[in-house]
Structure 1
Amino acid sequence: MKLVVVSAGLSVPSSTRLLADRLAAAVERQAPVDVQVVELRTLAVEIAHNFTNGFPGRALAAALEAVTEADGLVVVTPVFSASYSGLFKSFFDVLDKDALEGKPVLIAATGGSARHSLVLDHALRPLFSYLRAVVAPTGVYAASEDWGAEGLPERIERAAGELALLMSAGAPRQPGGSVAGAAGSVALPVGAVPEPARSVAAGSGAKAADSGFRVIPFEEQLAALRG
């Protein structure tokens, strides 16, 4: 399996790249993956030119192809103005709109304060849900004080394990082949047959109706994969 890591760190060395490397190493410990890193800092000029002339340069084209063909992604951005960086967003703006459909994605971010941790659920998760990716339930945020402190290694391992399971499940990438990519839901494994379920309409005296499908909780998916 091919894992592509997208890092939007700007400085050298970069805490964003450090978190990206730790997440990739954690996924490698849990699944056989080939890791490729896409460093957006080196692609900034080509991304800007792509907006003005409509054509990617050679390095940017190779990065876009790697992301499109990946079996899973780790995406990490620094927090700017309480959201992802402009460089990070620009890269995914020039990516084909269908490239991430059904693709497992682990979201992560770095920032100077723990107050920005909500960027995962208020910015990154909506972005990749809109792109129809399958977002791993656990995101990883690392503030300055988290490095070397308790908690961060455990969050990294948990998120990496979820991504490894999603990649191993071979999430289908056809339209309609996945459950909505919000937290707590994953794509149905290939060959899975939806089970009938009963749903009750709102309001007094409403009768149960056969919906024909059952949303499978993430915990059941993990148990089935481990079994």
Structure 2
Amino acid sequence: MDELKIGELAERSGVPASTLRYYEAEGLLPATRAGNGYRLYGQQALDRLAFITQAKHLDLPLTDIRELATVWESESCHSVRSTYRPMLAERIQQTTQRLTALQGLHETLTAAIDYLDALPDRDAPCDASCAFLDPPRRPLPLVEATPAPVACTLGAGDYAKRVADWHDLLRTADLVEVTGGVRVTLPTADLERTTSLAAAEQECCAFFSFRLDLHGPTFDLTITAPPEAAPLLADLLPTHHATPTETLPR
């Protein structure tokens, strides 16, 4: 079989080229170099990538996957099982903790919707006596980032659709740069759609952090990520420029 260039491997595997480059940098997916500097991959790269992708679907961190891939390629099935099982048990414990946090988030969001639905309809503009202004501005930790490798587990087609959904949501919003990310202001009519997109994004890219600030008929969405994930964060944003950087309140 002929060796594959990175674009060909991305097409055949469904893994974005940016993720393949990251895997190479992390020592997970070695590549040779052609005379012109292009990365080249053989059949073994497809097999190894399939194993990495399967392990990523189980939400294993890349440090564990690197160790496991080495055992998988060089040792017996018994050794693979002995290495694999404690990793999965630890992920089950961590997932249980995340489920508890998400349940708390669900209750908070439900209470926020109930509050908005209970507000009286007014034709007049809001002023200091408006019920919208009664509660203090409240930050809601939608999904906090957890230590995670900067890589996306979505296939190329799913990733493109997710990016298109974010662009559609944010296309008319003003972007304000904050420390480590951006903040946008959206109408509460987009609250449910935003929470769904953010939760889905976290499933594939756990390094993102999302936060909501409710204030009357609008809410702020703050998206942050580690510096090395800046290109992936930029993918989610429309092409119009953000206003100058602000320091994100803690």
Which structure is larger by alpha-carbon Rg, 1 or 2?
2
**TM-score normalised by the chain length of structure 2:** 0.22
**TM-score normalised by the chain length of structure 1:** 0.24
Name the one with the larger helix percent: 2
